[in-house]
Amino acid sequence: MIKNHPFDIILLDARIPDMDGCQVCQILRETDTIPILMLSSCTELKNKVRCFRIGADDFLTKSFDLEELLARMNALLRRVAMTQTSFSMANTLNFSRIKLHFNLREIQIDETVVSLTEKEMELLATLAKNSQFVSTRDELIDSIFGYDGGTRVIDSHIKNICKKLKSAGLEYNPIQTIRGVGYKFLVFTENE
């Protein structure tokens, strides 16, 4: 249905008949970058983090005010528009063996191509474009997710990115953890 009818955003209930909403989110995320806002009556942090790990862009606990739902939807749509604009300005960044292809949501390490989720690419792009600075978890949450959420969401995405880079043959981790502060993208030259 999504392939035949383009949508700007998906509101997805975590509990839908015959299938887990998180499974639906995961299936959607495999082929599409459309913003997904998960809705759930579950308030447990582990459930929220699970939804983010599989590709949800935002999470709203029931019962909520319609005004908050609309504000979150507008924030997601605004972020998508900003991302498309900023990524179109610089579609590729090169760092020694690593090439970031923003419009494709891919990283190329030598000849190996690694696909990332939209949020993983936004996170890596933010770190790479600001490699001279340490980015705090709060700054990353605000710029990528647009809400005051738990910092573990960022940690989870970083972990997934690093795992993908390692499986593609990168011997070092280009994302340095600055304990108690945040993360920094390390730029290595050919000689390092």
> pLDDT (tens digit, 0 to 9) for every residue of the chain, 192 residues total?
555 667 788 899 988 888 888 888 888 887 777 889 999 988 888 888 888 888 899 999 998 889 999 988 888 887 776 655 454 445 777 777 788 887 788 888 888 888 888 888 888 888 888 887 888 888 888 778 776 556 688 888 999 999 998 988 888 888 999 888 889 988 765 444
Which regions of the chain carry the CATH code 3.40.50.2300?
A: 1-89
Which regions of the chain carry the CATH code 1.10.10.10?
A: 90-192
Fold of 90-192: Arc Repressor Mutant, subunit A (1.10.10)
- Full-model pTM: 0.52
Three-state SS sequence of the chain: CCCCCCCCCEEEECEECCEEHHHHHHHHHHHCCCCEEEEECCCCHHHHHHHHHHCCCEEEECCCCHHHHHHHHHHHHHHHHHHHHHHHHCCEEEECCEEEECCCCEEEECCEEEECCHHHHHHHHHHHHCCCCCEEHHHHHHHHHCCCCCCHHHHHHHHHHHHHHHHCCCCCCCEEEECCCEEEECCCCCCC
